[in-house]
Every structure is written in structure tokens, then in C-alpha cells.
Amino acid sequence: GQNIDQPTEMTATEGAIVQINCTYQTSGFNGLFWYQQHAGEAPTFLSYNVLDGLEEKGRFSSFLSRSKGYSYLLLKELQMKDSASYLCAVRRSNDYKLSFGAGTTVTVRA
């Protein structure tokens, strides 16, 4: 099975940086995804990591350490529109099933 843990809530100020951590335990690892979900809307793909290291995409970056079972999503220069839930999802190598964490709700304050 898979256990995926991430904080429930985080609050930050507009213009600041927030780091959302995700730890996981899985019987076989084949990639980690981050999705963004605004309230009442569908999740949308943000990033994908399969090798250790940092992937940067504009204001958003995602990091992975497979040996530690750890990833983080870094949101820079926060904007009000970044207020959303951020879902960490891990894919298993034996059957390629994707399991989601419960999500971290980020609130950006002015």
C-alpha cells in the first residue's frame, strides 16, 4: 500500500514563499505528481518528478528525494490566485496506480 502525508493547511502572505512537504511510503516508486485544486474545481497538473532533484517551472518548483521518501512543492512570489489545495500523488511501480494525499490547503493573505 501507500501512505502519503502532507500538512493540512498553510497560510502565507502575498509575495512570500511557501514550501509544502510531502512524505510517502510505497512498496515501489515510479514517480510523484503535484496537482493544484481550487475550491469547487477540478485538480490540474502542476509538476512531475521521477529522479532526485529540483524541477523548476516558473514560480513553482518541485523537489524529490527518493531515498528519503520526500518531496516538496515550492511556491514563490505568492499571488492571491495561488490560494488552493495542493495534492501530492505517488505512482506505484508494480501496477502504476496513482495514489493521492489528502491535500494541503494554502491560503494567501494580502
First-to-last CA distance in the chain? 40
What is the DSSP track for 7-59?
Answer: -SEEEEETT--EEEEEEEEESSEEEEEEEEE-TTS--EEEEEE-SSEEEEETT
CB of 34 to another protein, least distance (A): 10
- Look at residue 88 and give its three-state secondary structure: strand
Site for another protein in 34-73 (CB under 8 A): 35, 41-45, 48, 50
CB of 31 to another protein, least distance (A): 5
Say whether residue 7 binds another protein (CB under 8 A): no
CB of 110 to another protein, least distance (A): 25
Going by DSSP bridges, is the β-strand pair 60-65/70-75 parallel, antiparallel, or unpaired? antiparallel
Query: Near another protein by CB under 8 A, which window of 18-26, 66-74, 76-84, 88-96?
Result: 88-96
Q: What CA–CA distance (Å, rounded) separates 75 from 38? A: 15
Say whether residue 33 binds another protein (CB under 8 A): yes
Q: What CA–CA distance (Å, rounded) separates 71 from 21? A: 6
Among 30, 70, 74, 76, binds another protein (CB under 8 A): 30
The residues binding another protein (CB under 8 A) are 30-31, 33, 35, 41-45, 48, 50, 85, 87, 89, 91, 93, 95-100, 102-103
